Amino acid sequence: MGKFTPAILVLTYILVGLSLAAMVWNGGSDFGTALAVLAGTLGVCLSFHAYASQQLAERRILRDVENVRDAHRLMVDAIDSTQKDMLELADRVQNQRTSRSEELTSEVKMLEDLVMKLGESIEDRLNSWQAAPAATVVPLRGTPAMNAKEAQALALIETIREALIANRVDLYLQPVVSLPQRKTIFYESFSRLRDATGRVLMPAEYLNVADAEGLVPSIDNLLLFRCVQIVRRLAKQDRRIGIFCNISLTSLRDETFFPQFLEFLNENRDLAGSLIFELGQDAFATRGSVEARNMAKLADLGFRFSLDKVTSIDFDLQDLHRSDVRYVKIGANLLLEQLLEVEGKPAMKFLKDIHAGDYAGLLARYGIEVIAEKVESEKQVVDILDIEIGYAQGHLFGEPRAIKEQVLAETDPPAGFIKSTLPQQGRRRA
């Protein structure tokens, strides 16, 4: 009912009463009779008004009660729905915990296999040294003789073994940025070992010995395993950043490791868009049928490949495309050394007929992105932008940095696990 409705109704009642009283007056009745008619008319109208108002009020109350009942039914339904959702959420959390526990069990089992293989490799080499004839170095009492080179190699291998036992294996990440924004889009991963003093061992210090003893695949495999873990952690944080992780030909043809690793990746194929496996250009060129077939199996799961250690930028683009290579990393100096001027325009030495700025576009037509690496100066950035390269990597944008220990701790096996799987040196020499 409007704000002025009651006043209008009262006025209407008065007008009706006055009209009837006037009619009675004009009909010859006296003033008292006319006044009585007026009073009676007003009384009837006001009684009707009170009755109608009461009925409307009762209807409003009933309507409000019904609205409250409806709201109560909706609230009950919402509570029931919320309880159902909470039960479903609790079930999902429980299932995720169970699934996560199963994943960790599977991953620790894989890590166990890898470390046991590393221990077997060390065991085999020590046994071969024990069976070797006497050499130039006077042996310790109770041990077979070995020359100075073998003694040095043994010490280095023992350093690697102790680093694994003490979990002194760090993962380093270096940013790969987009140009010209310099926004981090990818990371490249590196593994680093530390000796008992905490000194970081650079790969150049131990790779030759480790490779000769067949230990590099085990180290590479541990890096692959840890890269998958880091990618998963980043994905959980909604950080859609890819990681380049080196994979060796030895890992690709390893009949023990690769089937396990392929199964592990199949269970984590949702990470395919964030994990890029990287090979050197020479390794890619010399891959055999087994390695190519296993690369194809990874590609079938959605994983992509990258080439680094590039020495020639005259690529077989069709071969790269068929092999699911989607990135090539070219050193900034090598890339800029290929530039020459033809009729006043920059061109590539082996592609003189096209503008240098079209080189990246040519590779892009085969689904391949060019990344300029080892960028050290702002001048190189300017030159790289001139030939329209979209990505860059180098100390100018950030040096490799170790992942925080608490992050790596999530990828570690149980305490004492590695030590229990590696044979003890003293027991082997007994």
52 has pLDDT over 50: yes
pLDDT-based confidence at 269, cuts 50/70/90?
confident
- Strands (DSSP E) along 343-429, which ranges? 345-348, 351-355, 369-373, 391-393, 401-402
What pLDDT does 292 receive?
95
pTM: 0.62
pLDDT-based confidence at 196, cuts 50/70/90?
confident
CA 113 – CA 124 distance, rounded (Å): 16
253-276 burial, b if ≥16 CB within 10 A, otherwise e?
A: bbeebbebbeebbeebeebbebbb
What pLDDT does 270 receive?
85
Most confident of 201-210, 232-241, 374-383: 374-383
What pLDDT does 283 receive?
93
318 has pLDDT over 70: yes
125 has pLDDT over 80: no
203 has pLDDT over 70: yes
Which of 68-72, 173-177, 309-313, 407-411 is the least confident region?
407-411
CA 383 – CA 374 distance, rounded (Å): 14
24 has pLDDT over 80: no
CA 375 – CA 396 distance, rounded (Å): 6
pLDDT-based confidence at 17, cuts 50/70/90?
low
Structure confidence by residue, pLDDT tens digits, 75-92: 777 777 777 777 777 777
Burial of 73 (0-12, 13-18, 19+ CB in 10 A): exposed
Burial of 203 (0-12, 13-18, 19+ CB in 10 A): middle
CA 303 – CA 307 distance, rounded (Å): 14
What pLDDT does 135 receive?
43
pLDDT-based confidence at 368, cuts 50/70/90?
very high
CA 298 – CA 279 distance, rounded (Å): 14
DSSP H helical segments within 132-168, as ranges?
Answer: 148-165
What pLDDT does 424 receive?
41
What pLDDT does 369 receive?
95
Cβ atoms within 10 Å of 216's Cβ, excluding its own? 20
What pLDDT does 306 receive?
97
What pLDDT does 83 receive?
74
CA 245 – CA 390 distance, rounded (Å): 20
What pLDDT does 414 receive?
40
pLDDT-based confidence at 391, cuts 50/70/90?
very high
CA 55 – CA 45 distance, rounded (Å): 15
Average the pLDDT over 116-138 and give the result.
Answer: 51
Residue pair 220/250 in contact (Cβ under 8 Å)? The answer is yes
Average the pLDDT over 233-244 and give the result.
Answer: 77
Structure confidence by residue, pLDDT tens digits, 162-180: 776 676 778 889 999 999 9
Average the pLDDT over 384-393 and give the result.
Answer: 91
- Picking from 239, 245, 392, 375, the residue whose alpha carbon sits closest to that of residue 306 is 245
Class of domain 168-202+215-411: alpha beta
54 has pLDDT over 50: yes
Most confident of 158-167, 308-317, 412-421: 308-317
What pLDDT does 96 receive?
63
3-state helix, strand, coil in the chain (%, to 5): 60, 15, 25
222 has pLDDT over 50: yes
Domain chopping of the chain, boundaries: 5-77, 168-202+215-411
Q: For tokens 């007008």, name the residue.
A: 15
Angle between helices 5-26 and 31-131 (to 10 degrees): 160
427 has pLDDT over 50: no
Average the pLDDT over 132-142 and give the result.
Answer: 45
317 has pLDDT over 80: yes
Summary mean pLDDT of the chain: 76
